Amino acid sequence: MRKTAYILPAVVVVLVLFLSSIFVVDEREKALVLQFGQIRAVKEEPGLAFKIPFIQEVVYYDDRILSLDTDTIEVTPSDDRRLVVDAFARYRIADVVQFRQAVGVGGLRTAEDRLSGILNAQIREVLGADQVTSDVILSADRRQFSNRIRDAARVSARSLGLDVVDVRLKQTNLPSQNLEATFARMRAEREREAADEIARGNEAAQRVRALADRTVVETRSAAQRDADVTRGEADAERNGIFAEAFGSDPEFFAFYRSLQAYETALTGDNSRMVMTPDSEFFEYFKNQGAQVVVPESAAPEAPESEDAAAAEPEAPAPAAAAPAAPSPDAPSPDAPDTEVPASGAPAPEAPVSE
């Protein structure tokens, strides 16, 4: 019984000591074995490891890629337009020994604070450099600035045992107090561009309209010219036909034109004319020896029977014409009787302008 009483506590003590000397390293972690604050061993491979119980302790650090969101800061590019920049970084613990020596017992919180200061300093330095304007930062080419910030921060973060994997500018905006002025300036620029486009469009439309009007005038002028040429040729051909038709008998042509003049002058109720007795308009009435030769085709046909003659209505008697003034060439009452020209004698031709 006495042996059992001593053996059982000894087994318990040995079991406790054995369990206290064993620790497990996860594949997502790295471990440091510390003895009185001093680094005694580094365990980076996953599996079981041993330490001296109650004298050594194990500190674990995450071996995965970690994320850090920096605080929003204001930067001033070379064009003196302030920008609000919000960035984030991806990093991992590359050297746990150096990391422990750099941050001590503060761990990841202290390391992230110091890394955030490094990133903010590099952001101000890169975005505030010469030849870097706000328009370039706000454009799609700002990826190059992220790479420059990452490379500069990676060099500075090595002293902390950290490896900066990537840095991105998450948000780049103007300060709230400058937004309204910036939007007004952008609206003015867009309106100016729109006015320029409208002016160029109106100029092009005016050129097209002027060209169309000129084409219309040229087309109408050419058509009018062709029409005048065609009309002149037709008139010339008509006059030629008239000249050829009436050139064989000029006297008959003059008589025919006189009849046309009488027909035109004495139309409708217009049966009176006032003119001097020696007017050439009634030249054929003065010719006492003129005789009217009526073609056989123009003579009226005799009625075939008395019934047909009776069926024709009687023509009304012509109205009495006004007495004409005595002509100096007319015979006196005491002169012997002379032959009076027939009422159907042709009249002279009125002057007609060709």
Query: What's the mean pLDDT when you consider all of the chain?
Result: 76
Confidence of residue 55 (pLDDT cuts 50, 70, 90): confident
What pLDDT is stored for residue 52 in this prediction?
A: 81
- β-partners of residue 171 are 86
Task: Tell me the backbone φ, ψ of residue 174, rounded to 5 degrees.
Answer: -85, 155
What pLDDT is stored for residue 327 in this prediction?
A: 38
Q: Say whether pLDDT at 1 is over 70.
A: no
Number of C-beta neighbours around residue 10 at 10 A: 9
The helix or strand, by DSSP H or E, that contains position 83, with its residue range, turns out to be strand 83-93
Structure tokens at 104: 């001590």
Mapped onto helix, strand or coil, the DSSP state of residue 138 is coil
* 89 vs 65: CA distance, rounded Å: 10
pLDDT 10s digits, 32-41: 888 887 888 8
Q: Which amino acid is at 67?
A: S
Mapped onto helix, strand or coil, the DSSP state of residue 30 is strand
Give which of 6, 30, 3, 147 is closest to 94, Cα–Cα. 30
Q: Say whether pLDDT at 230 is over 80.
A: yes
* 119 vs 112: CA distance, rounded Å: 10
Give which of 223, 207, 326, 321 is closest to 278, Cα–Cα. 326
Query: pTM of the predicted model, to two decimals?
Result: 0.48
Q: Which amino acid is at 266?
A: L
What pLDDT is stored for residue 304 in this prediction?
A: 43
pLDDT 10s digits, 176-214: 777 777 788 889 999 999 999 999 999 999 999 999 999
pLDDT 10s digits, 263-318: 877 776 766 777 777 777 777 766 544 444 444 443 344 334 333 333 343 433 33
| Residue bearing the bigger pLDDT, 222 or 265 | 222
Confidence of residue 334 (pLDDT cuts 50, 70, 90): very low
Sign of CA dihedral 127, 133, 134, 137: negative
Q: Say whether pLDDT at 335 is over 60.
A: no
Structure tokens at 303: 């009625």
What pLDDT is stored for residue 249 in this prediction?
A: 78
